[in-house]
Amino acid sequence: MRALVTGGAGFIGSTLVDRLISDGHEVAVVDDLSSGRNRNPQAPLHVMDVRDPALGSLAEQWRPEVVCHLAAQISVRKSVADPVHDARLNVEGTVNVLEAARRAGTRKVVFASSVAVYGRPAVIPVPGDAPTDPRSPYAASKLSGETYLSAYSGLYGLEYTTLVLSNVYGPRQSPDGEAGVVAIFTDALLSGRPTVLYGDGSQTRDYIFVEDVVDGFARACGPDGNGRRFNLGTGLQTTDRELHSLVAAAAGAPDEPAFEPPRLGDLPAMAVDPAPALETLGWRPRHDLPQGLKATVEWARDRS
């Protein structure tokens, strides 16, 4: 299979590129390198914004059978501060990717969406067919991407699968910017810096290891799951306080976070139901949280 991965120099994207190459596929990468870096010399890197009209010409030359679209503006807070910029990257960029795929005769697009599309869910873990309720420009832009996928499928027969990602963590995740809390805790605890929990530490999230996520992408590149949305998560809730204790244990550091007032807009709880991904894609998470955190901390320690 020949694949094109947008955002393929980032945390999740570069891990996916490695997986696809190890599976014997040909891979090309599109990334503007705003937050990632070239990691795999076996995959030609095209430094390009996904809104660039030249993406269409690149796709026509490469002729990918599958496009995995991960490039995005991923910060909820930045989307609130500048919704126009968020829409330009996440809506206009996605449409440009779909146009490039259509022109190149691509069979399928696998799209990275977010649990943010569910808003404040009535049921946890959130089923894949739960109503959407975007409460930020970022969530709205991701849901817009899903809508465009459906439109292109109906108009042009372009297959697609949407993967809704819960809180992804693992090696290569940066602790800077809009980083995941695992990367932030890991970096601080290994460096002996203080850590902070917001609220009373009872907020929950569903943490999924990056290698499990890319396994979901690899499976979705096949013929199954066309036209559907699948949650990639564990279905398990972990509190912020529990997470801190687990990361501290993996890092061999004191489990003594400071507490600050809760942040406005933070969801009190989140977890997603992955059962449909097992039924249709044969996917399941294979790393429990202690395993994944051990690998993450070891990677961070080796690079420090």
Residues labelled catalytic: 138
**58 vs 100: CA distance, rounded Å:** 8
Amino acid at 228: R
Report CA-CA distances (Å) from 220 to 147, 229, 236.
18, 10, 22
Give CA–CA dist 26/63, Å, rounded: 11
Provide the residue type at 10 as one letter.
Answer: G
Question: How far is residue 196's CA from residue 211's CA, in Å, rounded to a whole number?
Answer: 27
Tokens 């465009």 belong to: 148
- Measured distance CA(118)–CA(243) in Å, rounded: 23
Q: How far apart, in whole angstroms, are the C-alpha atoms of residue 298 and residue 186?
A: 10
Residue 129 one-letter amino acid? D
Q: Are 202 and 134 in contact (CB under 8 A)?
A: no
Helix-helix angle 181-191:240-251, to 10 degrees: 40
> What span, in angstroms and rounded, lies between the C-alpha atoms of 189 and 183?
10
